[in-house]
Amino acid sequence: MGGREATMVLMDENGKRCDGRTVDEPRRIMIKAGGLKNADGSSYIEFGDNKILVGVFGPRDVHPKHMSDTDTGILRVRYHMEPFSVGERKNPAPSRREIEISKVIKEALEPAVMLEKFPRTAVDVFIEVLQADGGTRCAALTAASVALADAGIPMRDMVAAIAAGKVADTVILDVNNEEDQAGQADMPIGYMPNLEKITLLQLDGVLTPEEYKKCVQVGVDGCKLVYELQKKALNDKYFGNKGD
């Protein structure tokens, strides 16, 4: 797990990364709003080699009843990886990692959703990772925001997310799987561009105070890029710019 020795060339002398990207270039991102018939809202994202499906239900009755709140609606998030989504087959039961990611994604989405409009109800967000390749929590959070909007749930803003990080002593945008395993730092950021609020932030790895500042800046700039793609996905579905 997480070997930090630099056995792999993460950045060549021309500043190109192991997959040919420049330092501030994200992977290919494709977001589609809708797609599932039974869900109230849904989305599908391909973020590099990540492939993630999100379905949203609600606002609806809360089961079990004791979870409901008379003052506000509640948000429930489940992040789940398929057994075939990673290199070695994953046990289908939820792991501690998946439970933690579910929680941080829920807390990242909560400030965006106007839950106080639906007391005693629940909004359920189900995230299914079909294929994982580093940065799934950011891709999942990005897709979940689009699925919530697709469900017509009132929101203050959408949360866009991407990771910043550090490899070969350089601050980079959008950490891929190799860079996450062998790099020096990984900092996933979720950001609401209109409200200018960071709602998800994690870090593992060592950064100097200057690098820390730069990582946050690079991440926030990246989120703004992702935000445009989220808006485009909704535009394509609801205003029919499908022909492109």
Partner 1 sequence: MASHTVIDELKRNQILELLEQGKRVDGRALDEAREISIETSAIPKANGSARVRLGDTEVVCGVKIQPDRPFPDTGDKGLFICTAELLPLSHPTVETGPPGPEVIELARVVDRGIRESHMIDVSQLVIEKDKSVIGVFADNVVVDYDGNLFDACSYAATAALLSSKSPKWNWVDEAPTLVEGEEVDVPITTIPVSVTMAKIGKHIIVDPNGDEWASMDARITITSDSDGNICALQKGGDDGFTQDEIVQCGEISVRVGAKIREKLKAAQQGGQ
Contact window for partner 1 (CB under 8 A) among 78-86, 163-171, 198-206, 235-243 = 78-86
242 near partner 1, rule: CB under 8 A: no
CA 37-94-119 angle, to 5 degrees, is 55
Give yes or no for a contact between 113 and 153, defined as CB atoms under 8 angstroms apart: yes
CB 56: neighbour CB atoms within 10 A? 25
The nearest distance, CB 50 to partner 1, in angstroms, is 10
Nearest-10 Cα torsion for 3, 167, 22, 159: 90
User: Of these, 38, 65, 239, 243, which contacts partner 1 (CB under 8 A)?
Assistant: 38
What's the burial of 230, exposed, middle or buried (CB within 10 Å: 0-12/13-18/19+)? buried
80 near partner 1, rule: CB under 8 A: yes
The nearest distance, CB 203 to partner 1, in angstroms, is 27
User: Of these, 79, 118, 126, 191, which contacts partner 1 (CB under 8 A)?
Assistant: 126
Nearer to partner 1, 29 or 187 (CB): 29
User: Of these, 17, 21, 27, 51, which contacts partner 1 (CB under 8 A)?
Assistant: 51
**Which 3 state secondary structure label does DSSP give 222?**
helix
39 near partner 1, rule: CB under 8 A: yes
Main-chain phi, psi angles of 101, to 5 degrees: -65, -40
Residues of this chain that interact with partner 1 (CB under 8 A) are 36-40, 42, 49, 51, 53-55, 57, 60, 63, 78, 80, 82-89, 92, 124, 126, 128, 130-133
